[in-house]
Structure 1
């Protein structure tokens, strides 16, 4: 089979690209794969048309198209019957109002109806779209993100005296401020990945939190951060999936995450689940993990079991089956 992957411009963010690089690496072992990066990282009308015409010129009659996410509007330019699109989330839509909201729906949600198949990285992402438009269930698949093969089990003795708590991401939804409050008085080191704003810096000082901070890390640097950590902190307020959950589990670290979809489903039984809006609940989770060896061992065991559901070869196999299905049904 021949598959052409459309990626958004790398300057628009590389998280989606990283996910599909894992899949592409596996597919290349047995299939002909081409990757095409869009020329513009922007989302104004001129850039949308620029990217759309570029995608149309790249299209090949002997290839299946796969839009890897975010740039759903490419469906207006491509042959829908030969195109699969992956939806990560449509959270931005819910923040918009008036004409902007209508236009975003026309560009990013309505074109999903044109696709031969729409894949969602979680049931949560699928429910988001179903609440806005109706899709034929026969053309919908839920295929989760894979964990990169470079995230491997790395044994580490838990630091009881001063555990390292790794917090990835500093956007408001990553819940760093409640994390800082919850850690007040707990002897630990908070390792924060992402640029800190004035509010976070003030909260760290006020709550007397020992911390360190880095950003713009390479993939290899991120892997080292997971290996150095004792606890992976991910009490996010909303996500389309939640990669740090399975990356932490794959590394063999204790994960704390939110009792919110899709994070609780992604985590399975392999994480300590908290109410992300409750500082007390988050704090109690830290204390339970630090004080309870049996809990740590159980979370480690269940996490390693759970991550097997997200191995690259397994997820790639689900996509390969879908490509085969599309090939067999193209007019």
Structure 2
């Protein structure tokens, strides 16, 4: 069997690429299939760029085609009965609806969701929460969506440390306003700590951090090895996002042996299970109280870290790869 996994433009992100790059490795080694990985050249939504991406997809030759996320419309250029589509979330639809941009909402709804979902053989998503969102936006069309969670990369291994109670390093993953750095910065004002930010910073957010006197270090475009090192270097993951399709950083911190503060929202509470302290991400006071509690309660930290090692077992890469392999085989048959 030959499987063609199609990705968005290189450099457009790292979460989808990390997940499906890992799965490709397991599919090759454990299921003896040929996996081809192809990135489309564009991310902009313009007719010429979309047409160029569709031509790249059309040139692929495989038994099964898998669109890994974001560029859902590639389904329009692929064989319907042999194509699998993974939809990670509906954040673009929610964003346009909240902005009141009706025409842009319907354009995205049609090109990125309705037409691709109608055309493909199988649809997967990464959490029950994302499936519920798809049903809310797409109606009965989304009833056939299968949930397959993201895997945790085995690069993340236990690396015990001595928690720095007087000046801890807090890890924050940043790639948009929904990651909630603005409230986190307010919550950390006056707390002695260092904020390690992975991802781009807007000038507005950098100015806020400076005005609040937050000591921080920013890193971008990290390799897999550098991401592992960042988790090892921190004392705590603070992942108080307002919106997630899954929440992979929670598992990466669990696997490393770092205590986690995250949002009391779906799907983060499902992914974290008993392995994180949950707080209201819309409350600066709740975030601040959560950070302070984890800084001072050693027994709680140890309980959450132990639970984290157990939690990550649910998301082994070989198990997730087997689920996708079953989907591919159902398409072939």
Quote the offset at 1:265 in angstroms.
1.0
Pairing partner for 2:244 from 239, 247, 250: 239
Distance in 2 separating the partners of 1:316 and 1:17: 15
Matched position secondary structure for 1:239: coil
Pairing partner for 1:218 from 223, 246, 259: 223
Matched position secondary structure for 2:166: coil
Matched position secondary structure for 1:10: coil
Pairing partner for 1:98 from 102, 122, 125: 102
TM-score normalised by the chain length of structure 1: 0.93
- How many residues were matched structurally? 326
Quote the offset at 1:294 in angstroms.
1.3
Aligned match of 1:67? 67
Aligned match of 2:15? 15
Aligned match of 2:56? 54
Quote the offset at 1:40 in angstroms.
2.6
Distance in 1 separating the partners of 2:294 and 2:6: 42
Quote the offset at 1:136 in angstroms.
5.5
* Contact map agreement 2:135 2:143 (CA 8 A) in 1: no
Matched position secondary structure for 1:12: coil
Pairing partner for 1:160 from 161, 165, 187: 165
* Contact map agreement 1:59 1:78 (CA 8 A) in 2: no
Distance in 2 separating the partners of 1:88 and 1:158: 34
Quote the offset at 1:138 in angstroms.
7.2
TM-score normalised by the chain length of structure 2: 0.93
Q: Is 2:261 the counterpart of 1:256?
A: yes
* Contact map agreement 1:170 1:176 (CA 8 A) in 2: no
Quote the offset at 1:193 in angstroms.
2.1
Distance in 2 separating the partners of 1:289 and 1:248: 14
Deviations 1:71-92 (Å, cap 9, x if unpaired)?
A: 1111122111111100011211
Q: Which moved more, 1:132-141 or 1:33-42?
A: 132-141
Quote the offset at 1:304 in angstroms.
1.0
Distance in 1 separating the partners of 2:329 and 2:219: 43
Matched position secondary structure for 1:233: strand
* Contact map agreement 1:166 1:192 (CA 8 A) in 2: yes
* Contact map agreement 1:116 1:139 (CA 8 A) in 2: no
Distance in 2 separating the partners of 1:14 and 1:214: 14
Aligned match of 1:79? 79
Quote the offset at 1:128 in angstroms.
1.5
Deviations 1:39-71 (Å, cap 9, x if unpaired)?
A: 3333212222221122122134xx111111111
Aligned match of 1:206? 211
> 1:204 and 1:136, CA in 2 relative to 1: closer, same or farther beyond 3 A?
closer
Q: Is 2:183 the counterpart of 1:174?
A: no
Quote the offset at 1:316 in angstroms.
0.7
Structure 2: gaps spanning 5 or more residues = none
Aligned match of 1:142? 147
* Contact map agreement 1:10 1:41 (CA 8 A) in 2: no
The Cα RMSD (Å) is 1.7
Aligned match of 2:309? 304
Matched position secondary structure for 1:33: strand
Quote the offset at 1:135 in angstroms.
4.4
Distance in 2 separating the partners of 1:47 and 1:224: 36
